[in-house]
Every structure is written in C-alpha cells, then in structure tokens.
Amino acid sequence: MSLVVDHLSKRFGTVVALDDLAFEVPPGQVFGFLGANGAGKTTTMRITLGVLEPDAGRVAWNGVATSSLPRSTFGYLPEERGLYPRMRVLEQLVFFAGLHGIPRDVAERTARDWLTRFRGEDLATRRAEQLSKGNQQKVQFIAAVLHEPQVLLMDEPFTGLDPVNVLLLREAFLELRDRGRTVVFSTHQMEVAEALCESVAIVDRGRMVVGGPLRDVRRATGRRLVHVAVEGDHRLPWLAGVSGTRIIQAGMDRSSIELDPGVEPDAVLAAAISAGARVRHFELADPTLEQVFIDVVGRPANEDAHLAPASPAAAGAAGSTAPGRTAEDAA
Ligand SMILES: Nc1ncnc2c1ncn2[C@@H]1O[C@H](COP(=O)(O)OP(=O)(O)OP(=O)(O)O)[C@@H](O)[C@H]1O
Ligand SMILES: [Mg+2]
C-alpha cells in the first residue's frame, strides 16, 4: 500500500523535466513534494494521473500502474485552478462529485459540510468568477475531495491562502490522513512542509536529491545545532572560547549554535555555566527543512531554478553529473 514513483523520465523536446525520478510515498501519510520552480512537481503529478505519458518509468499505487486505475482513486488540485466561472459554487461541487458517481444529495450535504469547515457557507450560491482567489482555491480543494479519493494530489495548495485558511487546510489534510487517505502536496514553502509532513522528497531539476521521513531528511546533512537562551547578554560572549562552534543566529529569546563534527553539545552548556550565564533554555536541534534544502540544492526553494547554476552538491547527491535543462534554459 504505497504510491511508488518508479524511475520516471520525461522530456519536453530538449527540456529534461524528469530524470530517473524515484521515491515512495508511504500510505496514510501527509507527504511533501518539495522543489523550486521547474523542479518537475506538476509533471510528476500529471503523470500519476495518467494525463501525461512518461518516456520511461511509471507510477504505481499498491503495485498497479496509476494510469490504469479509476480516476476516482485520486483527488487532484491542479496548479492552474479550473472552476467554471459562471457556475454557482454548490452546483459546481455537485457536478464534479457527480463525475465520480456521487449522488446529488450526498454530494450536496458533503459539500455544505466542507464549506462550513472553511467558513464559506455563504459561498454556496455565488458564481466562481465572483470569488476571491483564496476562496476559489478552497472550492477547488473541496471539489478534489468530495468523492473521498484514496490519494490526494495537491499542487501548491497553500499558495494564495491567508494564514487562517492555511491553518484550516492543514487541519483538513491531517483529518484526511487520519481517515486513511494519502495526501501528497507540492510546495516551495519549507516551513509549511516542516509543520505538516511525515515524509518528504526534495527534487531539483527533475532529479531526486534527498527524501524519506522528515526527521531523517533534517539530519541528512549531518549538521547539528544547539538552541540556547541565557538571561541577560544575548551576544553569547561566553561561547568565544569553545572551538568548533559557530553562532548562526543570535537572538534575545534563543540563539542557534552550529557544532562542528566531534564537538559535543555539553561543551556549549559547560562554557555557559562556567562563565556564570544563567541558562533558561538548552536543546539539541536539527537544521530546519529550509536550511537542509539550501544545503542540498544549493539555493532556496523559492528562488527560480533558471536563475541559479546547478549546484555540485545537488548533482552529487542525485548521483548524476549532467544537469538537466529547464524550459527556461531552452527559451
Ligand atoms: N508542456 C510542457 N512543454 C514544455 N516544457 C514543459 C511542459 N511542462 C513542463 N515543462 C518543463 O518541465 C520542467 C518541469 O516543469 P514542472 O511544471 O513539472 O515544474 P514544477 O516543479 O511544477 O514547477 P513550479 O514550481 O514552477 O510549478 C520545467 O522546465 C518546465 O518548463
Ligand atoms: Mg508546478
């Protein structure tokens, strides 16, 4: 019971969109598909749905090629939202559910429940074209889940939502997960993925860079941090004598200190205490997903792929030396 992206390759003309991309999504998890613009996230989702044919490889759900499964196995939130502009919201939701064989009364009841959850009861009778971008997105999300699909493929579902709606959507993902659904969503917002995902795949230019349980991915670079807060002076003068440590972020509440290999966290604590600092907070920590992404890909996820050269670290981690071209390169 898992979704296996099995060595997918896909070109568009001379553009390599996917280059032997392979990873596995464990069932019943919220899974983050992470990559900068042009990484190949949308292409992978479209191949999973059978909308696009790969040049090589396949995607399988429980061992069966997804392209041969009923479309209702999946709930898809496309990157380019596609509501009917003139159709009223509830009518539209009932229509989409009907395509998956859901009877009108069931669809209407479920759709109203979802609208209420998203604080959008009043949207039911509005036309899609009258809705704000965020509200259209909520409606499209509901359209994707009304037929209770086993696997949700959500392409950038958090983009354009305000913080309240980000929270509501996060809760919805977790609830669907608790009901046994597998939720795959793409994003380049690492903090969202970090707060929500059990497992992730980091993809760059169509190649797998690092993936697996979030905890392992955050440890993949071997960087170790301690977070410490002391009373009084937050500039950490007491750390000066501890070799093999670097302050990567100094703050009033909490400072982050990176440890070189072989340096034990105890050395930091001992230095603080022996200098007379009053330690209020001390913890061992892994780098954030954002830090890991920058380390392994060579640039932040929210920076366009075509603006930066391929990083040697990323190419090495992916076991490949030939950087794929992006459409932007070709243009
Ligand atoms: N229909 C197409 N024709 C030509 N090139 C394409 C097509 N679809 C995708 N590509 C190219 O394939 C690569 C991967 O694109 P894809 O849309 O899968 O990336 P993405 O990770 O979804 O990016 P974004 O975060 O910008 O949505 C890009 O270089 C893109 O320009
Ligand atoms: Mg995309």
> Which residues, other chains included, contact 104 with Cβ-Cβ below 8 Å and sequence gap of 6+?
94, 98
Domain locations in the chain as residue ranges: 3-218, 224-285
> Which residues, other chains included, contact 34 with Cβ-Cβ below 8 Å and sequence gap of 6+?
186, 187, 188, 190, 193, 200, 201, 202, 203, 289, 293, 301
Q: How much is the pTM?
A: 0.86
Ligand 1 lining (C-beta closer than 6 Å): 12, 15, 17, 35, 37-43, 79, 326-327
Measured from the Cα of 329, ligand 1's closest atom is: 29
Q: For residue 41, report the distance from its CA to the centre of ligand 2, in Å.
A: 5
Identify which ligand lies nearest to the alpha carbon of 15.
1
pLDDT of residue 276: 85
- From first to last of its 331 residues, what are the pLDDT tens digits of the chain? 799 999 999 999 999 999 999 999 999 999 999 999 999 999 999 999 999 999 999 999 999 999 999 999 999 999 887 899 999 999 999 999 999 999 999 999 999 999 999 999 999 999 999 999 999 999 999 999 999 999 999 999 999 899 999 999 999 999 999 999 999 999 999 999 999 999 999 999 999 999 999 999 999 999 999 999 988 765 677 888 788 998 888 877 788 999 999 999 999 999 888 888 889 999 999 999 999 999 999 999 887 544 544 444 433 333 333 333 333 333 3
Buried b (16+ CB within 10 A) or exposed e, 7-23: ebbbbeeebbbbbbbeb
Domain 3-218 has CATH 3.40.50.360: no
pLDDT of residue 167: 94
From 14, 19, 41, give the residue whose CB has the most ligand 1 atoms within 8 Å, as the site to mutate: 41
CATH topology for 224-285 is Alpha-Beta Plaits (3.30.70)
Q: At what angle do helices 89-99 and 133-145 cross, to 10 degrees?
A: 30
Cβ atoms 54, 8 nearer than 8 A: yes
